[in-house]
């Protein structure tokens, strides 16, 4: 009898140990645990859950008119990422001045971002705000938008030193019609965050990118002086590319070409990628995406508006137009304002203000064209 009991006990222990061993040895076949490089994990994850540049609404711009009508609306939160001196000289009433490096911390510790319908990032010309809006959207904040044209669209006092002085025809001789073919597929960028899951890799990449100082801006003079050192990416439609593009640049069309199953692998990892679009706003958004994936990508400030302005007008393409795109909205001066809803402990649902919250210095609000900024 004792022998039978001992045998039975040993058998139970063997089965239990076997099951315990089995649970350790058998891997989970989730996407995160399949043997992949960090780059492969990250790209697969982003394309599945946060492919911001393949969204038909990209690059998620919002016009100054809408903000002017809603800055007292508790469902709108305005964040100005210009430096303190520029902010204090003039800003949208109610806007909060947050350094771009502190945006992630601000979203995590200073506000509940999910209580707002729209969080609007504002900068000088709409390009820096587009870049950081892209990073924030990749971080999961899908209610973040960039103000089109930046503070240049709010009032001419801000536009005169940015958009109004940066349209140019300086590089028109460098634009051609001849097509440049894409190169053969390359290896993906090498990413090393030492994270195992794709979500943690993404989190690590975005956190790192927020520590960089103006890393998304291309030095256009150096690009034209040393074109062979750069991979120049023309990010607009094929019809525009066929009409005019930087000599040697390669066309990648919005919404389809920068995917793993299309042409993403044709991007180089051994050269800096310089992206240009019509205004520098869409390209800044794209560069946020590419830098997150590990590419050394930078955006051409002011886009084709800063290179072939007259040719763009000749072709009927959207351009920055001070008469149409610059408002005359009033602005506040000094330090951070306090919104009327800041003291509330819970969000208040308010309806959209039907009339503009402020009037222009002339007493009227001009109706503006909203073209441009995303091509």
Q: Which residues contact 24 (CB under 8 A, 6 or more apart)?
A: none
Mean pLDDT confidence for 317-331:
97
Neighbours of 363 (CB within 10 A): 7
User: Is residue 253, in this structure, part of any structural domain at all?
Assistant: yes
- 124 or 361: which carries more pLDDT confidence? 124
User: Is residue 262, in this structure, part of any structural domain at all?
Assistant: yes
Mapped onto helix, strand or coil, the DSSP state of residue 360 is: strand
User: Is residue 203, in this structure, part of any structural domain at all?
Assistant: yes
User: With contact defined as beta carbons under 8 Å apart, do 233 and 249 qualify?
Assistant: yes
Separation between Cα atoms, residue 286 and residue 29, nearest integer Å: 32
pLDDT bucket at 355, cuts 50 / 70 / 90: very low
Q: Within 13 Å of residue 167, how many CA atoms lie on the same side as its CB?
A: 19
Q: Is 279 exposed, middle or buried (0-12, 13-18, 19+ CB in 10 A)?
A: buried
Neighbours of 369 (CB within 10 A): 11
DSSP state of 107: H
Read off the pLDDT of residues 180-209 as tens digits, 9 standing for 90 and up. 999 999 999 999 999 999 999 999 999 999
User: Is residue 322, in this structure, part of any structural domain at all?
Assistant: no
Domain count, the chain: 1
Beta bridge partners of 76: 118
Residue 20 has pLDDT above 90, yes or no: no
User: Is residue 236, in this structure, part of any structural domain at all?
Assistant: yes
Read off the pLDDT of residues 66-91 as tens digits, 9 standing for 90 and up. 999 998 999 999 999 999 999 999 99
Read off the pLDDT of residues 134-155 as tens digits, 9 standing for 90 and up. 999 999 999 999 999 999 999 9
Residue 164 has pLDDT above 80, yes or no: yes
**Helix axis angle, 38-49 to 198-209, nearest 10°:** 90
Mapped onto helix, strand or coil, the DSSP state of residue 332 is: strand
Average pLDDT, the chain: 85
- Token pair of 4 as six digits: 């039978």
pLDDT bucket at 338, cuts 50 / 70 / 90: low
Mean pLDDT confidence for 56-67:
96
Mapped onto helix, strand or coil, the DSSP state of residue 358 is: coil
What pLDDT was estimated at residue 337?
61
Q: Which residues contact 344 (CB under 8 A, 6 or more apart)?
A: 74
What pLDDT was estimated at residue 278?
97
Separation between Cα atoms, residue 11 and residue 303, nearest integer Å: 74
Separation between Cα atoms, residue 99 and residue 85, nearest integer Å: 12
Read off the pLDDT of residues 235-286 as tens digits, 9 standing for 90 and up. 999 999 999 999 999 999 999 999 999 999 999 999 999 999 999 999 999 9
Beta bridge partners of 332: 91
What pLDDT was estimated at residue 47?
94
User: With contact defined as beta carbons under 8 Å apart, do 64 and 266 qualify?
Assistant: no
User: With contact defined as beta carbons under 8 Å apart, do 134 and 285 qualify?
Assistant: yes
What pLDDT was estimated at residue 13?
38
Residue 367 has pLDDT above 90, yes or no: no
User: Is residue 271, in this structure, part of any structural domain at all?
Assistant: yes
What pLDDT was estimated at residue 353?
25
Separation between Cα atoms, residue 148 and residue 123, nearest integer Å: 9
What is the domain range of residue 291?
Answer: 172-315
Mapped onto helix, strand or coil, the DSSP state of residue 225 is: helix
Neighbours of 55 (CB within 10 A): 13
Looking at residue 251, which CATH number applies to its domain?
A: 3.40.250.10
User: Is residue 177, in this structure, part of any structural domain at all?
Assistant: yes
What pLDDT was estimated at residue 51?
87
User: Is residue 84, in this structure, part of any structural domain at all?
Assistant: no
For Cα atoms 92, 128, 102, give the angle at the middle one, nearest 5 degrees.
Answer: 80
């Amino acid at each position: 009898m004792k022998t039978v009991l001992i045998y039975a006990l040993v058998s139970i222990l063997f089965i239990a140990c076997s099951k315990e061993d089995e649970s350790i040895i058998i891997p989970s076949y989730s996407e995160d645990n399949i043997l992949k490089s960090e780059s492969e994990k990250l790209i697969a994850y982003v394309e599945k859950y946060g492919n911001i540049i393949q969204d038909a609404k990209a690059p998620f711009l919002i016009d100054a008119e809408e903000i002017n009508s809603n800055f007292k609306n508790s469902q709108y939160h305005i964040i100005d990422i210009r430096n303190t001196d520029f902010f204090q000289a003039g800003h949208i009433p109610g806007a909060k001045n947050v350094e771009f490096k502190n945006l992630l911390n601000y979203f995590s510790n200073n506000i509940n971002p999910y209580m707002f319908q729209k969080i609007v990032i504002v900068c000088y010309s709409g390009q820096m705000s587009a870049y950081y809006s892209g990073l924030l959207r990749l971080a999961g904040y899908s209610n973040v938008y960039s103000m089109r044209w930046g503070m240049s669209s709010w009032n001419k006092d801000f536009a005169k030193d940015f958009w109004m002085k940066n349209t140019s025809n300086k590089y028109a001789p460098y634009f051609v019609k001849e097509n440049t073919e894409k190169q053969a597929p390359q290896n993906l960028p090498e990413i090393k965050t030492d994270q195992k899951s794709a979500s943690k890799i993404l989190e690590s990449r975005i956190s790192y990118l927020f520590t960089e100082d103006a890393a998304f801006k291309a030095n256009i003079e150096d690009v034209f002086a040393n074109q062979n050192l750069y991979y120049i990416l023309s990010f607009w439609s094929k019809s525009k590319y066929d009409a005019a593009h930087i000599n040697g640049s390669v066309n990648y069309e919005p919404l389809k070409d920068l995917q793993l199953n299309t042409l993403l692998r044709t991007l180089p990892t051994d050269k800096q990628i310089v992206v240009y679009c019509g205004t520098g706003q869409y390209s800044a958004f794209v560069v946020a995406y590419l830098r997150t994936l590990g590419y050394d990508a930078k955006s051409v400030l002011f886009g084709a508006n800063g290179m072939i302005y007259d040719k763009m007008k000749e072709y009927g393409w959207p351009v920055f137009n001070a008469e149409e795109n610059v408002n005359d909205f009033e602005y506040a001066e000094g330090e951070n304002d306090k919104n009327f809803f800041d003291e509330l402990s819970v969000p208040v649902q308010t309806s959209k203000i039907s009339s503009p919250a402020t009037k222009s210095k002339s007493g009227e609000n001009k109706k503006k064209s909203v073209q441009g900024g995303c091509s």
